[in-house]
């Protein structure tokens, strides 16, 4: 059983050439992303020292997918998805080099502008990549593919955070931006090698007029299917808590447990714990639930409980090892919810709506995360709340969303009367 479980991942990579190339692209690109995130957070903390300023960085990273959601979904459902991914990588490779110009407190505005530009391009990349997956992976392997993508994200987070923290501490912040730019170029090369089936797949007749009409039709599709809408809001419900936790993590690193230059060593360890939790959670959960929908719904509820437990432990936060353990437990839950949300959408939404549904999924997630981040930064600066107190508040949010999902799961899985 154990060998068969692992072989499903190995066989997917070995036998599916397109998935393998898309996977290699993800590995390279996300390794650089975490160098960039740690360097950006350390740079803002170094130049401003404000909790609200740090929160502003994460909001600048999160708002573009929300604001561009209507455009992103329509583009992903109308044009060649492979070309969208390539163009996104090439543009980001150029934009990231602009971070090298941020050197003084007076340049912080430029860092925000460049972050918005970079994440605006990224807003097109992620929903398009998610929409491509059902076109290159058969349905029986979709959960496997999403779980492997999550493990890869987590591994690159752990590796990128560790290497990024070390590189930033040893070589300086600017080195991380140069590495990030190079990874986008290599990622684009792998995507150019995808076959034609990774392009826009047959979408059938698109109701409504192009552009705004297609966007409205996508919203109508979700509104008419409440069960699918709940799944599309799953990441957003989790983000109501994990968005604000970014402020907590930076505060723990900068104010309470600083290690290394600019506390980048502590941030590296925290993101290492995030990578381990988000990577192991979905893999272990999938081994228990398999690829059946009903067990996935209950696994998501368990994921919420893991988030709650992690936040409560983080609220105690008496030492750095406890903070790292709490982060690991919390992110087991977020990893499960993320993977199963994507898998359930890919299993139930037709190809001609996938771009718009995933754009909505990403937009709502970023809106929720931005709101949470802004509130946490405000509470830190204006209410004088400690990182521990903010973590406990995020725990209350997780508890509330867990109850909502439990009610939905019980109703959704309840046997329907025969007609």
Q: Could you tell me if 10 and 139 are in contact, meaning their C-beta atoms sit under 8 angstroms apart?
A: no
* Mean pLDDT lowest among 1-5, 195-199, 388-392: 1-5
Express each pLDDT in 366-395 by its tens digit.
888 878 877 877 777 778 788 788 888 888
Three-state DSSP at 385 gives coil
At 222, give phi and psi (nearest 5°).
Answer: -70, -40
The rounded distance, in Å, linking the Cα atoms of 397 and 391 is: 10
Residue 172 has a pLDDT of: 66
User: What proportion of the chain, given as a percentage, has pLDDT over 70?
Assistant: 82
Q: What is the pLDDT of residue 401?
A: 92
Of residues 417 and 212, more confidence is placed in 212
Which CATH number goes with the domain that contains 354?
1.20.1250.20
Nearest to 89 by CA among 1, 10, 25: 25
Global pTM reads: 0.74
Judge whether residue 348 has pLDDT over 80. yes
Q: Does some domain include residue 345? A: yes
326 or 201, higher pLDDT? 326
- HEC-encoded secondary structure of 389-406: HHHHHHHHHHHHHHHHHH
| Whether residue 212 has pLDDT greater than 70 | no
Overall domain count for the chain: 1
> Stretch 9-13: mean pLDDT, rounded?
83
Range 181-199 average pLDDT: 84
Average of per-residue pLDDT across 209-225 = 77
Asked whether residue 5 is assigned to any structural domain, the reply reads no
Q: Calculate mean pLDDT across residues 28-43.
A: 74
Domain assignment present for residue 116? The answer is yes
Query: What are 296-309's pLDDT values in tens digits?
Result: 899 999 999 999 99
Residue 258: band (very low, low, confident or very high) from pLDDT cuts 50, 70, 90? low
Residue with tokens 């299917």: 225
Please give the pLDDT value at position 189: 93
Tell me, yes or no, whether 4 lies in a domain.
no
Residues 164, 273, 237, 241: is their CA dihedral positive or negative? negative
What range does the domain containing 348 cover? 14-413
What is the rounded CA–CA span in Å between residue 68 and residue 121? 10
> Is residue 418 assigned to a domain?
no
Angle of CA points 135, 140, 145, to nearest 5°: 65
Q: Is 268 helix (H, G, I), strand (E, B) or coil?
A: helix
Residue 6 lies in a domain: no
Does the CA dihedral 99-35-286-147 come out positive or negative? positive
- CA-to-CA dists, residue 263 to 41, 256, 260, 267, 270, angstroms: 10, 10, 5, 7, 11
Query: Within a domain: residue 7?
Result: no
């Amino acid at each position: 059983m154990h060998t068969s479980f692992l072989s499903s991942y190995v066989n997917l990579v070995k036998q599916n050439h397109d998935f393998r190339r898309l996977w290699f692209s993800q590995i390279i690109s996300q390794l650089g992303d975490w160098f960039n995130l740690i360097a950006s957070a350390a740079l803002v903390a170094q130049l401003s020292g404000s909790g609200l300023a740090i929160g502003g960085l994460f909001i600048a990273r999160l708002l573009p997918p929300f604001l561009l959601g209507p455009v992103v979904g329509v583009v992903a459902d109308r044009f060649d998805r492979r070309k969208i991914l390539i163009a996104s990588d090439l543009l980001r490779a150029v934009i990231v080099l602009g971070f090298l110009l941020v050197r003084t407190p007076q340049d912080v505005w430029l860092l925000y502008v460049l972050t918005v530009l970079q994440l605006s391009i990224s807003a097109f990349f992620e929903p398009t990549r998610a929409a491509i997956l059902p076109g290159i992976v058969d349905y029986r392997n979709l959960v496997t593919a999403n779980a492997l993508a999550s493990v890869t994200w987590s591994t690159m987070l752990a590796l990128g955070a560790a290497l990024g923290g070390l590189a930033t501490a040893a070589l300086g912040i600017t080195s991380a931006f140069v590495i990030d730019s190079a990874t986008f170029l290599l990622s684009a090369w792998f995507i150019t090698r995808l076959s034609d089936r990774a392009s826009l797949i047959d979408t059938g007749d698109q109701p409504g007029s192009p552009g705004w009409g297609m966007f409205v039709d996508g919203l109508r599709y979700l509104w008419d299917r409440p069960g699918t809408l709940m799944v599309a809001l799953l990441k957003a419900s989790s983000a109501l808590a994990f968005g604000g936790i970014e402020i907590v993590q930076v505060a723990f690193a900068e104010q309470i447990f600083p290690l290394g230059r600019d506390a980048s060593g502590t941030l590296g360890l925290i993101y290492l714990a995030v990578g381990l939790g988000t990577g192991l959670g979905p893999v272990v959960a999938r081994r228990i639930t398999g690829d059946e929908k009903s067990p996935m719904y209950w696994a998501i509820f368990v994921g919420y409980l893991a988030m709650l437990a992690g936040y409560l432990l983080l609220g105690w936060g008496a030492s750095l090892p406890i903070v790292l353990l709490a982060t690991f437990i919390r992110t087991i839950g977020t990893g499960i919810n993320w993977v199963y949300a994507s898998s359930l959408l890919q299993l139930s939404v037709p190809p001609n709506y996938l771009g718009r549904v995933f754009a909505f999924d990403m937009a709502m997630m970023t809106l929720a995360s931005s709101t949470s981040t802004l509130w946490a930064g405000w509470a830190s600066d204006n209410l004088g709340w400690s990182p521990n107190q903010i973590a406990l508040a995020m725990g209350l949010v997780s508890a509330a969303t867990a109850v909502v999902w439990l009610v939905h799961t019980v109703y959704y899985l309840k046997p329907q009367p025969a007609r």
